[in-house]
Amino acid sequence: MEIVILPKPEDVLDAGAKIVEDQIRSHPRSVLGLATGGTMEGVYERLIGRRLDFSGVQTFNLDEYVGVGPDDRGSYAAYMRKYLFERVNLKPENCHLLDGTTSDIRAHCQAYEDAIKRAGGIDLQLLGIGHDGHIAFNEPGSSMASRTRLKTLTPDTRKNNAPHFPEGEEVPLHVLTMGIGTILDTRRCVLLAYGKNKSPVIAQAVEGPLTAMCPASALQWHRHCTLIVDEEAAHKLARQDYYKFVYKNKPGS
């Protein structure tokens, strides 16, 4: 895993957006895996300003709330329209999202996996991280081999996500999410995090054991994972000086 430690949150967002920009410019028909949440808002904002041609790009989102339809304000479909889809030239038929109102969850999740495969696999996956180590909505205990499926959120995750949900509406208990195995199959993934409150989980994910109790630790097993954090999120990493040394001396940079 490549660990990049940058001074400020804005630097983390700039670096994340730059990786997506380079991917699209070098491979205009890229397949992107997209995340939602507070961290990603700044990434999408930056991408919009970069006048990229998304016309050949396909996207697959990580997760969606069960019982929430694409037109509901709290849906991740609505989030994506607001922060990205309606602001760039992505073709609607190329934007894939899980449908939280499907009547056949098992078949729908399998169809999502099949669609990723048909698209040729995900070239670049964006990830955030929850305070409990979740990636996508794979909460602690999720199988490292899991594929897209139904999961139950922890009370903490529901509480943390409440401010992002329409006022007066409860954050659903269940979600559909890509699995850890699905994420491990992506060709490259980039996890972004900033702020002191993410520092304990960043240390666990990077320097702790590979364990289902910290789903993000599975990324230690990913073939090409870059983790970009600010100084605050990095401050519990025991080997931060080494990571900075490696990055500074990166061949070709």
Binding stretches for ligand F6R (CB under 6 A): 35-39, 62-63, 128-130, 134-136
Is 63 a known active-site residue?
Answer: yes
The tokens describing 214, both together, are 């910290």
- If one counts every other C-beta atom within 10 angstroms of the C-beta of residue 241, the result is 10
**Residue among 162 and 246 whose Cβ is closer to ligand F6R:** 162
- The stretches of the chain forming alpha helices (DSSP H) are 9-26, 38-48, 76-83, 105-118, 155-161, 180-184, 199-207, 231-234, 240-248
Q: How far is the CB of 249 from ligand F6R (least distance, A)?
A: 30
CA distance 139 to 193: 17
Is 64 a known active-site residue?
Answer: no
**Residue among 3 and 192 whose Cβ is closer to ligand F6R:** 192
Residue closest to ligand F6R (Cβ): 128
**Residue among 5 and 97 whose Cβ is closer to ligand F6R:** 97
Pick the catalytic residue from 21, 132, 174, 235: 132
Q: How far is the CB of 26 from ligand F6R (least distance, A)?
A: 25
Is 132 a known active-site residue?
Answer: yes
Q: Which residues contact 151 (CB under 8 A, 6 or more apart)?
A: 137, 138, 139, 142, 174, 175, 176, 177
Q: How far is the CB of 225 from ligand F6R (least distance, A)?
A: 15
Q: How far is the CB of 81 from ligand F6R (least distance, A)?
A: 14
Is 22 a known active-site residue?
Answer: no
**Residue among 36 and 182 whose Cβ is closer to ligand F6R:** 36
Q: Contact 155/90 with Cβ under 8 angstroms?
A: no
Pick the catalytic residue from 139, 230, 231, 232: 139
> Where is 2: in which H helix or E strand?
strand 2-6
CA distance 61 to 94: 11
Task: Enumerate the active-site residues.
Answer: 63, 132, 134, 139
